[in-house]
């Protein structure tokens, strides 16, 4: 902390931003010691309760929020011996308790497909929820939602959505913790409309540029919130077709909406793409909303 404090003083840092779980937690504990303003973060005990997938499932159960059946095991041997495994059924999901980026997440379709060992512990075993995957993100101040953004992603497009039921459940959790800072939820919605909260990200998330393309810059908003400025006009609804489909409209740009034009400019700026031919071949290999080569 002494080195961070020194750097903040030497470079006259205006604002310190967390970039991941570890740096967010660092600010929850030591933020007051760095000698510079820092992006809003939740309290340490709140962060710890929500960043752990097992503890988050318990929070949802306590608050009566919809969550899949979830169990925790120290080893795969413990899971194999569990007499209540049938309660979860197959398919099921195995994942680590506190890793990000989808690391270690596996769908298991039968008892015969269960691995003997995994290279992490503890192991979270969760009921698989069929349907579509949704993502919802919020900027909060003392338990109040300041800004929000939700979207769904398919093979052909990314589309902003509004699901009042998700917002209502999220608001209850945010108010319960008096939450401050950004928070995101991964959610599954079944064909009949029922939803389930899968996990929580009480920090910056990987695809923040998606909200930014819609006109909602969570970094800027959080900095304003820290400076007590606040306020934001509602952005227009976002809908972005897949890069492959956008490529087919490059010669007819008037058919692209504002967000799609911004998204094309975003991925074209990548230095890995040079020239028209490279764009044609590479744009289809970009993961929608991620700018990652597959």
Which percentage of the chain shows pLDDT scores above 70? 75
Please report where in the chains the tokens 């028209």 appear, as a residue. 276
Residues 208 and 223: their CA atoms lie apart, in Å, by 15
User: Tens digit of pLDDT for each residue in 127-146?
Assistant: 999 999 999 999 999 999 98
Domain with CATH 3.30.470.20 in the chain: 1-68+129-238
Average pLDDT, whole number, for the chain?
81
* Most confident of the ranges 136-150, 258-272, 279-293: 136-150
Residue 114 has pLDDT above 60, yes or no: yes
pTM over 0.85: no
Q: Which residue has the higher pLDDT, 282 or 226?
A: 226
The pLDDT, as a whole number, for residue 186 is 94
Beta carbons of 202 and 42 less than 8 angstroms apart? yes
Q: Among 13-27, 184-198, 261-275, whose mean pLDDT is lowest?
A: 261-275
Pick the closest to residue 204 from 192, 187, 226, 222 (CA basis): 222
Beta carbons of 105 and 93 less than 8 angstroms apart? yes
**For residue 134, what are its two tokens?**
């949704």
Q: Which residue has the higher pLDDT, 242 or 97?
A: 97
Three-state secondary-structure class, residue 132: strand
CATH code for the structural domain at 1-68+129-238: 3.30.470.20
CATH code for the structural domain at 69-127: 3.30.1490
Burial class (CB in 10 A: 0-12, 13-18, 19+), 170: buried
Domain with CATH 3.30.1490 in the chain: 69-127
Q: Classify residue 284 by its DSSP letter.
A: G
User: Tens digit of pLDDT for each residue in 213-260?
Assistant: 666 788 888 888 776 544 444 444 445 555 556 666 666 665 666 556
Pick the closest to residue 134 from 159, 151, 155, 148 (CA basis): 151
Three-state secondary-structure class, residue 219: helix
The pLDDT, as a whole number, for residue 243 is 56
Pick the closest to residue 138 from 158, 168, 99, 159 (CA basis): 168
The pLDDT, as a whole number, for residue 137 is 93
Q: Which residue has the higher pLDDT, 293 or 132?
A: 132
Identify the band that residue 1 occupies on the pLDDT scale cut at 50, 70 and 90.
Answer: confident
């Amino acid at each position: 902390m002494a080195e961070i404090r020194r750097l903040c003083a030497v470079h006259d840092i205006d604002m310190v931003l967390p970039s991941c779980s570890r740096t967010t937690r660092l600010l929850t504990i030591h933020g007051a010691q760095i000698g510079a303003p820092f992006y809003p973060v939740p309290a340490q005990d709140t962060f710890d309760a929500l960043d752990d997938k097992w503890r988050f499932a318990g929070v949802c159960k306590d608050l009566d929020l919809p969550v899949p059946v979830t169990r925790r095991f120290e080893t795969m041997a413990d899971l194999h011996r569990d007499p209540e495994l049938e309660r979860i059924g197959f398919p099921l999901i195995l994942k680590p308790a506190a890793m990000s980026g989808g690391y270690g997440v596996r769908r298991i379709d039968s008892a015969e497909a269960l691995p003997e060992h995994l290279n992490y512990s503890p192991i979270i075993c969760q009921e698989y929820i069929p349907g579509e995957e949704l993502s919802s993100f919020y900027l909060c101040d003392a338990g109040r939602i300041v800004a929000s953004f939700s979207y769904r992603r398919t093979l052909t497009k990314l589309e902003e959505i509004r699901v009042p039921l998700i917002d209502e459940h999220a608001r209850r959790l945010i108010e319960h913790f008096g939450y401050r800072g950004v928070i995101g939820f991964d959610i599954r919605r079944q064909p009949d409309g029922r939803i389930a909260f899968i996990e929580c990200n009480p920090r910056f998330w990987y695809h923040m540029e998606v909200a930014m393309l819609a006109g909602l810059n969570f970094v800027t908003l959080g900095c304003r919130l820290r400076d007590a400025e606040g306020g934001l006009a509602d952005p227009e609804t976002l809908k972005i077709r897949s890069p492959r489909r956008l490529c087919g409209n490059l010669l007819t740009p008037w058919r692209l909406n504002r967000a799609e034009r911004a998204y094309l400019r975003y991925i074209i700026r990548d230095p890995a793409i040079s020239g028209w031919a490279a764009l044609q071949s590479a744009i289809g290999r970009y993961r929608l909303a991620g700018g990652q080569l597959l």
